[in-house]
Structure formats: C-alpha cells, structure tokens
Amino acid sequence: MISAEMITGRSTEHLAVLSGHHRLQPAAVVAFQAMQLAAKSAGFDLQPASTFRDFDRQLAIWNGKFCGERPVVDQQSQPLDISPLSTAERCQAILHWSALPGASRHHWGSDLDIYDPSLLPAGQKLHLEPWEYQQGGYFFPLNQWITAHMAEFGFYRPFSGNGGGVAMEPWHLSYQPLAQQAEQLLTPELLLAAWQGKEVAGASWLESHLPLIFARFIHPPSEG
C-alpha cells in the first residue's frame, strides 16, 4: 500500500537496492536492470546518476537555492543571480529545474536520472543538462537508444519539454506502472501536511499558489 510518507519522501520502506547507494522500488529495479542488459548488448554502459532522494535532502536543495547558498541557473542553463528577485520570481526560477521538498518524483522510488560513464570524456564532470544529451553532446547516442527502447521496459520521460514549466530533462526516466500511481496520489493537501514543522523557504508564497504550481511544475503534460 502506498502511504503519504512514501509519496513525500519521508519513508524508505518501499525501496530496494539497485546498486551502491542507489535505491528504487523492487519492480523498478527489475525493469531497469533488464534495460541495462539490453543497453549493454547495444554497446552502452547504462548507469543511474540519481535515484531515490528523501524529503530532507530535497529540502536542503530547495532552501540552499532559495537562500543563494547553491547555484541557480536560468532556462538556458546559465548562472542566475537570484539576489534581486522577489519571492515569487525565486520560487519559479528554482522550480524550472528543482522540485519542492515532498513533491520530487525522486521520492517515489520509480524515477531515476541516467547516463553512460564510458561516454563522459576524461576530466569532464556530469552536469545533467540538456546539451549533454542533444546532438553533439556526450550522451546523444545513449539518448537515441533510450528514446527508441525505454517503453519496452515500462519507462518514459515525464519532463519532455512538451508543456508545463519544468525544463526538458532527457536524463530523467519514470517507471510508468509505479510513477502514475504516485502522481495521482500527490495532492496539495498531502504536500502541506508533509511541510508541517519544517522550514520551507518561500512557504507563504508557495502555499498560496499551490494549485498553479501543481499545474505547471508538478503534474506537467508528459509523454507517458
């Protein structure tokens, strides 16, 4: 049974080890490992860059960006100075790339970011930015393979650039059977309950604009 704690990243009971510190729900582990084997046969070393992320980790990311302690980039992936921005402008700039604590798909154990370490040039750092996966980027061949085959294993891209306010994320995959269940259960009321007793930067503005935020950033149109 899916609980509110699982949906909002406050539980780890639904998770199994994928590899190293990476965790997903058991069904997603099996599906991803099957896709890894197929990718290996095609010449790719398909690996997770990020899997489960709990509420407190997402809260630290959000608050750090809001307060200027972590870098924020604009819609073209260029550094953004948030110091002159209003609360509304800060929140919307951060939401383009980062989820609210309690509303990240990485809480669910159904979603992960992927890359191929063998395609990353020596000395280069993984950025998880669109240019790396587009034509001319390191991971373009992997991206093409994923596009052609991910549905065979139950995966899709929730952030495809087709709509909503979230940036296109070709590296972000969702295991559809599990992700759709969680997405349907995540509501503004559930999110607000998860924030009780927590210091969420910009909370006053966020709470008064949650319906808009859900429509633009949390439940955007998808390919799935």
pLDDT number for residue 1: 76
224 pLDDT above the threshold of 50: no
Look up the domain containing 28 and give its range: 4-218
pLDDT number for residue 13: 95
Q: Please state the rounded mean pLDDT for residues 85-113.
A: 96
Tokens representing 163?
């709509």
Q: Please state the rounded mean pLDDT for residues 109-125.
A: 97
Q: Is 174 within the bounds of a domain?
A: yes
220 pLDDT above the threshold of 70: no
- Look at 42-51, 133-142, 159-168 and tell me which has the smallest mean pLDDT: 159-168
Q: Please state the rounded mean pLDDT for residues 100-111.
A: 98
Q: Is 197 within the bounds of a domain?
A: yes
Q: Is 11 within the bounds of a domain?
A: yes
- Strand locations in 178-224, DSSP E? none
Q: In CATH, what number is assigned to the domain containing residue 29?
A: 3.30.1380.10
| Percent of residues, the chain, with pLDDT higher than 90 | 89
Q: What is the mean pLDDT of the chain?
A: 94
Q: Is 137 within the bounds of a domain?
A: yes
Report how many domains make up the chain.
1
Task: Please give the radius of gyration of the chain, using alpha carbons only, rounded to the nearest integer.
Answer: 17
Q: Please state the rounded mean pLDDT for residues 190-201.
A: 97
Measured CA to CA, the distance from residue 29 to residue 46 in angstroms comes to 13
pLDDT number for residue 158: 93
Q: Is 223 within the bounds of a domain?
A: no
CB count, 10 Å around CB of 220?
17
pLDDT number for residue 141: 98
pLDDT tier at 135, thresholds 50, 70, 90:
very high
The DSSP line for 112-174 is EEEE-GGGSPTTPPP---HHHHSTTSTTHHHHHHHHHHGGGGTEE-S--SSSSSSPP-TTEEE
223 pLDDT above the threshold of 50: no
Q: Is 80 within the bounds of a domain?
A: yes
pLDDT number for residue 160: 82
Q: Is 224 within the bounds of a domain?
A: no
